[in-house]
Structure 1
Amino acid sequence: MGNLLGNWRFKEPSTVEECDSTWGSDSESDEPAAEDDSGISDSVSPAESEWPAGNNGDLSPKLTDSPEFLPKMKRSFYAARDLYKYRHCYPSYKKSRQPNEYRNLRFYLNKIPLVPDGIYIEEILTRWRGDYDKLEHNHTYIQWLFPLREQGLNFYAHELTQDEIKEFQSTREAKRRFLAAYSLMLDFYGIKLLDKSGNVARSSNWQERFHHLNESQHNYLRITRILKSLGELGYEAFKAPLVRLFLEESLHRNTLPNMQHSILEYFVYTIRRPAARRHLLRYARQHYKPAHAFLWGPPPKRSKPKSGDVGASVGAGSSGIRAPAPTPEPQRRGGETSFIPASGCSGTFVSYHDATVCQDVDAESLNAYTPLGSSMDGPEGVFMMMLERNNYSGSVPL
């Protein structure tokens, strides 16, 4: 048995369906599935139990138009795989560092500054709050404030290890500062932290900050990192209230319309408990327009093919739209924020998030990225050129 386990190797998922267990355990009781093997508490904010559970009965979307006239839409495999690895605690995990190398913990204990800026955590917490220009334009602090077990684009920031996570969670001073850093970023986004359960609400200056957040879409990458880090450092229950607020503002109140695809493709799937994801997706489906384009619901039940039927075994995606043919890996990375059809995409919708080099790429994907300004074919190349025209190429990516 020992030899068998020793020879076991993690098999990379190859489809979105293999990455997404949200609806695999769907039941009336909404019991959590066994996917969460992180060792982190399954506690959820009390407010979650009051969230709408969606319409009773069949939750699969009903098409109001003929599929032949609908644009080709599909979920991002890159996003699904990235969040699958995160939720399963990075199956290809590296060896632990020695305790004296716990740079993330030492930073939060105010013993070392972040690199390369040379700024200590206490200075950030006391002097940066309300300095929105600094928080917007500095691109090196976010990896230190919200560490992960994956390499970001500030290579001076160290990845977390399992041992360091345990030490961090048992250190009161580090946890106190971490929550202060979370509150700092929420204030930057126009949100306030209400209590120790992670409930959140609009802050007094929400209109100004939401307007900025709706236009400054690189912050969606930061929010993905923040949500992941919450789960790593013992605050899994804080994710759902924040994602719920973003869904309400984006889909129901229409104050953050540019964020809706990032929420559904990334933010929701940072949550480890399938039952919590289902609550959020049911709420999202109630308000998503057009309803037939909602891609994140349960897959439709396939009827048994009749004998003699040609092509009866071909299924449809969770949106009810027939899935297009598989595409090469570089073209399967589309995934976040804005549904903008790009030239050369054959009508396929791509998005900002996956076309941007972000802090959440793993080392393998990072090596595969082509730098901004290089010649690229397909949707990503179009978006890289768009980012250059918008002066994004001059900023340090996350």
Structure 2
Amino acid sequence: MGNLLGSFKEPSTVEECDSTWGSDSESDASPQLTESPESVLKMKRSFYAARDLYKYRHSYPNYRKSRQPNEYRNLRFYLNKIPLVPDGIYIEEILTQWRGDYDKLEHNHTYIQWLFPLREQGLNFYAHELTQDEIKEFQSTREAKRRFLVAYSLMLDFYGIKLLDKSGNVGRAPNWQERFQHLNESQHNYLRITRILKSLGELGYEAFKAPLVRLFLEESLCRGSLPSMQHSILEYYVYTIRLPATRRRLLRYARKHYRPAHAFLWGPPPVRRGGGVGGSSGAGSSGTRAPTTTPEPQRREDEGVASESSGIIASSHDAVLCRELLGGAPQGCSGLAESSMAGLEGALIMIETRRERNKSPLP
């Protein structure tokens, strides 16, 4: 991990993290929601999500500019010079042999951190963080950029989406019905999509984010084909976009189609009674909490529970998900927070690594 700078004061509220509707941005002509005593008690957004994406959009201000060198391992992986660890697979094998192998793409939990690297530690602890110098080198290397777009197209196909052009426009793929149904049911992929969006911005494809997020909004809010994704789109995907004007356009579109309208949390700060604009103390944003929302993100170290058989540490939510994936959980455990899936991904990576070492099947 990078070294923390003591001089950087971390934001302490959702409002401090969210500059989308700030005074330094163009005025918002859309009507603001007025607070009521009932809405003040209910409204809440995830501070953990807002803080994480604030740091991402501001290039991780809590990290020193000089990071420990990583020998450009992400770039070397993309140049097909080293395999991903722990699987020992080269990128050319993934790009040429994994396309359409949806079972492999779904159940392997180590490749995503290598295909879409970030300047933050992922849950595959064998993967390496990007550095600013490596990002510059990556963006100037044609072969790496070509493979990165192929990797992006590979994952889009997995999700039932096709890349239409070099500008990043996207549309439904021929297999969209089957893949969207899977995406509704396999929600740990929502965490993967957040990583993909972040990595696009790090490696020079910031403009590719908005078309994908807009497609997800349309499918989720208008066509009803991805209903389970609503919360992740609005809490995470929109806020990976660095340009406030682009976020505003997407959120205006979302607010127009969101139902119930009064439950929309991501608009401008509400007009308070007695005049003035601002959020209530301890509240996240305007509107009320939707009837069915996902739980608050949890730190990996919070509510830790250990698996006696594997030695894996995971949150209580993640333990339920692990049991479900391994066939031991009761029905109806879906709909957990995207951040809960982070602990699940880490647990599965550790399981997979242990299995590789011991050459034994999953329990």
Q: TM-score range, shorter-chain basis?
A: 0.7 to 0.9
**Residue matched to 1:209:** 179
Structure 1 residues 278 and 110, CA gap change in structure 2 (3 angstroms): same
Q: Look up the match of 1:319.
A: 286
Asked if structure 2 preserves the Cα contact closer than 8 Å seen for 1:83 and 1:266, the reply is yes
In structure 1, give the amino acid aligned to 2:213: V
- Counterpart code for 2:241: I
Structure 1's 182 and 305: CA in aligned 2 closer, same or farther, altered over 3 A?
Answer: closer
* Structure 2 counterpart of 1:383, one-letter code: H
Q: Which amino acid aligns with 2:131?
A: T
Residue 339 of structure 1 contacts residue 350 of structure 1 at CA under 8 Å; is this kept in 2? no
Structure 2 match to 1:121? 91
Deviation (angstroms), 1:58: 3.8
C-alpha offsets along residues 285-333 of structure 1, whole Å, 9 cap, x if unaligned?
A: 0110110010000012346569xxxxxx967764245x9xxxxxxxxxx
Match runs of 1:360-375 below 5 Å: 365-368=299-302, 370-371=304-305
2:243 is matched with 273
Tell me the amino acid that sits aligned with residue 189 of structure 2.
Answer: N
| 2:260 paired residue among 258, 272, 290 | 290
Runs (4+) of structure 1 moved beyond 6 Å? none
SS of alignment partner, residue 143 of structure 2: helix
- The alpha-carbon distance between structure 1 residues 381 and 177, as it changes in their structure 2 partners (threshold 3 A), is closer
Equivalent-residue separation in structure 2 for 1:317 and 1:130 (angstroms) = 40
Bigger relative contact order, structure 1 or 2 (CA pairs below 8 A, ≥6 apart): 1
Q: Which residue of 2 aligns with 1:360?
A: none
Asked if structure 2 preserves the Cα contact closer than 8 Å seen for 1:96 and 1:163, the reply is no
Q: Which residue of 2 aligns with 1:15?
A: 13
Deviation, 1:367, is 4.8
Structure 1 gaps, min length 5: 1-6, 31-56, 307-312, 324-337, 341-348, 356-364, 375-379
1:112 maps to what in 2? 82
Gaps in structure 2 of 5+ consecutive residues: 309-313, 327-343, 353-363
Q: Please point out which of 224, 227, 236 is paired with 2:194.
A: 224
Q: What are the Cα deviations for residues 183-226 of structure 1, in whole angstroms up to 9, with x where unaligned?
A: 00000000000111000000001000000001100000000000
Which of residues 285, 288, 297 is equivalent to 1:354?
297
Aligned amino acid, residue 321 of structure 2: L
Q: Give how far 1:391 is off.
A: 2.9
1:65-80 equivalences under 5 Å are 67-68=37-38, 72-80=42-50
Q: Deviations over 1:9-30 (max 9, x none)?
A: 11011100000000003425x8
Distance 2:26 2:30 in 1: 12
CA drift of 1:390 comes to 2.0
CA distance in 2: counterparts of 1:167 and 1:69, whole angstroms: 49
In the other structure, the counterpart of 2:32 is: 60
Say if 1:108 and 1:371 are closer, same or farther in 2 by CA, change over 3 A.
farther
One-letter amino acid of the counterpart of residue 27, structure 1: E
Shift of 1:258: 0.2
Q: How many residues align?
A: 319
Question: Distance between the aligned counterparts of 1:105 and 1:244, measured in 2?
Answer: 30
Identity rate of aligned residues, in percent? 73
Tell me whether 1:383 sits opposite 2:317 in the alignment. Answer: yes
Q: Distance in 2 between matches of 1:301 and 1:371?
A: 43
